[in-house]
């Protein structure tokens, strides 16, 4: 079809960038076209709250460089503000605005995910915010500079809590609500969640759980939100941190196998030949369960993009899989969650001598299936690495070095054993 092979990368975040770079590193000739729905360099969504809180400047949200430099260094074509409207996967054809069509040898879908606002009728045009993209961050920052006094944050999970933190830092009266009855409903055990909620209240945040937002109206000087528990609240603005959804409106689900995201194998291949997916738009192996799962994390996106790009360029590479984990630092608290807290098994709870930090875990078949840690940030890396090691080499104990790291971080011997530290 083409003398020189061509690849299209749809979406230019961490996954798209990593895919393009891997192709270029392995193949100096290949035509690489990037389709981006923005005119910006790839931003890091996890830095958006740091920008709004004033911890970093605007440029720092773009850690992979500016567009001109990326274009020159990778020798790629970046088609800005050119969203792909439809993908005909089996034909490897992209459809663009205005009816244009382009065919490629290989295609990487790297469209990430977008913030979801629950279906609320007649949502006012002003005062409604989300937190995902660089432009979301700028918009909220501008609003806060305009003298906001009160806010509602919807969604008591990682993004919501970071938004609460930055609002409180500005002295804004903040209500955090969630339809679920506890904080971090997908990643915290009830006991840990209760401590987290009590601490937030101690810092002056109103926490309203079991309260889904059902309506919002503009009452002139502010917004009025109403909740499923019959309560209401007035606020200058509402930030929806109520979840994300993979950006996949342009694909045909009759062609591509999709669960929450596009299902991929360890080479980041979708079920249609020459179609790859990487990052927050796809599902990959969860090493703790052996099944595909949706695990949207920055480092995963980078690795998956690299694997897709290398394979396209003819350098065999495979993704090792990942595990669900969440490491959040906010308002003097470190909350770490690893694995699926809903997994069946025996629950153990442990608090360090002196009460400096605590750990709660689920043990299934003699192994750690999930775990929550409060107030010990040092332990996150060693625990995650031990679990990854155990999943990859079930018969092999973790190294002496890993064991020492765990015990040096204060992890009790019984837990180290369950993490694969024999003789601990
Ligand atoms: C507030 C916040 C905090 C976070 N904290 C952490 C953290 O602590 N640790 C961590 O590991 N991860 C964290 N994450 C998640 C992490 O940022 C993501 O996993 C990662 O950035 C995903 O990268 P991606 O390239 O897959 O997607 P994205 O960064 O979403 O990039 C995809 C791009 O594709 C574009 N696009 C979509 N549709 C189309 C189309 N049809 N055509 C062309 N372009 C399209 C999108 O607009 C976007 O620009 C956080 C995220 C947020 C929002």
- CA dist., res. 110 & res. 20, Å (int): 11
Answer yes or no: is 120 within a domain: no
Write down the pLDDT at residue 1. 52
270: left (phi over 0), alpha (psi -120 to 50) or beta: beta
Instruction: Write down the mean pLDDT value for the chain.
Output: 94
- 3-class secondary structure per residue, 51-103: HHCCCCCHHHHCCCCCHHHHHHHHCCEEECCCCCCEEECCCCEEECHHHCEEE
Answer yes or no: is 206 within a domain: yes
> How much is the pTM?
0.94
- Domains contained in the chain, number: 3
- Dmax (CA) of the chain: 69
Same domain, 298 and 352: no
Burial class (CB in 10 A: 0-12, 13-18, 19+), 290: exposed
* Residue 353: partners with Cβ closer than 8 Å, 6 or more residues away: none
Residue 270 is classified by DSSP as -
- CA dist., res. 417 & res. 424, Å (int): 6
Answer yes or no: is 324 within a domain: no
**For a pLDDT cut of 70, what percent of the chain falls above it?**
99
3-class DSSP assignment, residue 410: coil
Q: How many angstroms is it from 296 CA to the middle of ligand 1?
A: 8
**For a pLDDT cut of 90, what percent of the chain falls above it?**
82
pLDDT band, very low/low/confident/very high, at 424 (cuts 50, 70, 90): very low
Residue 47 is classified by DSSP as G
Among 8, 89, 247, 278, say which to mutate for ligand 1: greatest number of ligand atoms within 8 Å of CB. Answer: 247
Same domain, 19 and 59: yes
Query: Is residue 126 pLDDT above 90, yes or no?
Result: yes
Q: Residue 155: which domain range?
A: 128-242
Write down the pLDDT at residue 423. 52
Query: Is residue 366 pLDDT above 90, yes or no?
Result: no
Nearest protein CA to atom 12 of ligand 1, as residue: 297
Nearest protein CA to atom 3 of ligand 1, as residue: 46
3-class DSSP assignment, residue 413: helix
In angstroms, what CA-CA distances link 367 with 119, 400, 419? 41, 18, 7
Looking at per-residue pLDDT, the higher value among 419 and 184 belongs to 184
Of 294, 312, 330, the last residue of a domain is 312
pLDDT band, very low/low/confident/very high, at 37 (cuts 50, 70, 90): very high
CA of 48, closest atom in ligand 1: 1
Nearest protein CA to atom 5 of ligand 1, as residue: 46
Burial class (CB in 10 A: 0-12, 13-18, 19+), 40: middle
Same domain, 90 and 145: no
Looking at per-residue pLDDT, the higher value among 201 and 406 belongs to 201
pLDDT band, very low/low/confident/very high, at 102 (cuts 50, 70, 90): very high
User: What CATH code is carried by the domain that includes residue 260?
Assistant: 3.50.50.60
Among 46, 50, 268, say which to mutate for ligand 1: greatest number of ligand atoms within 8 Å of CB. Answer: 46
Nearest to 362 by CA among 405, 418, 412, 295: 418
Same domain, 209 and 284: no
- CA dist., res. 32 & res. 77, Å (int): 6
Answer yes or no: is 71 within a domain: yes
């Amino acid at each position: 079809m083409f003398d020189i092979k061509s690849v299209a990368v749809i979406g230019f975040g961490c996954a798209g960038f990593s895919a393009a770079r891997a192709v270029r590193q392995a193949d100096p000739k290949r035509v690489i076209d990037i389709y981006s729905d923005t005119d910006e360099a790839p931003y890091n969504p996890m830095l958006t709250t740091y920008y709004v809180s004033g911890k970093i400047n605007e440029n720092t949200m773009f850690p992979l460089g500016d567009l001109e430099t990326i274009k020159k260094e990778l020798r790629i074509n970046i088609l800005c503000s050119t969203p792909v409207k439809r993908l005909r996967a089996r034909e490897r054809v992209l459809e663009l605005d205005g009816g244009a069509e382009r065919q490629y040898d290989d295609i990487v879908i790297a469209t990430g995910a977008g913030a979801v606002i629950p279906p609320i009728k007649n949502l006012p045009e002003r005062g409604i915010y989300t937190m995902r993209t660089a432009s979301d961050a700028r918009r909220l920052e501008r609003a806060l500079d305009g003298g906001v006094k009160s806010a509602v944050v919807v969604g008591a999970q990682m993004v919501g809590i970071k938004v609460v933190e930055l609002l409180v830092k500005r002295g804004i009266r903040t209500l955090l609500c969630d339809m679920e009855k506890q904080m971090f409903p997908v990643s915290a055990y009830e006991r840990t969640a209760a401590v987290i909620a009590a601490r937030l209240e101690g810092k002056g945040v109103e926490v309203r759980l079991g309260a889904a937002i059902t309506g919002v109206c503009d009452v002139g000087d502010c917004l009025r939100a109403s909740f499923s528990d019959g309560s209401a609240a007035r606020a200058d603005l509402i930030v929806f941190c109520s979840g994300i959804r993979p950006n996949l409106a342009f694909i045909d689900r009759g062609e591509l196998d999709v669960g929450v995201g596009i299902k991929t194998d360890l080479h980041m291949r979708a079920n249609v030949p020459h179609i790859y997916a990487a990052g927050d738009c796809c599902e990959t192996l969860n090493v703790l369960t052996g099944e595909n799962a949706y695990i949207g994390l920055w480092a995963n996106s980078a690795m998956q993009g690299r694997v897709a790009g290398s394979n396209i360029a003819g350098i065999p590479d495979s993704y090792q899989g990942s595990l669900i984990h969440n490491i959040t630092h906010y308002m003097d608290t470190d909350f770490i969650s690893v694995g699926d807290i809903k997994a069946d098994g025996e629950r153990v709870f442990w608090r360090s001598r002196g009460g400096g930090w605590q750990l709660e875990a689920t043990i299934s078949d003699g192994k750690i299936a999930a775990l929550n840690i409060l107030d010990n940030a040092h332990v996150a890396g060693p625990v995650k690495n031990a679990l990854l090691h155990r999943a990859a080499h079930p018969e092999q104990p973790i190294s002496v070095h890993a064991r020492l790291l765990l015990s040096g971080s204060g992890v009790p011997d019984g837990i180290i054993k369950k993490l694969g530290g024999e003789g601990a």
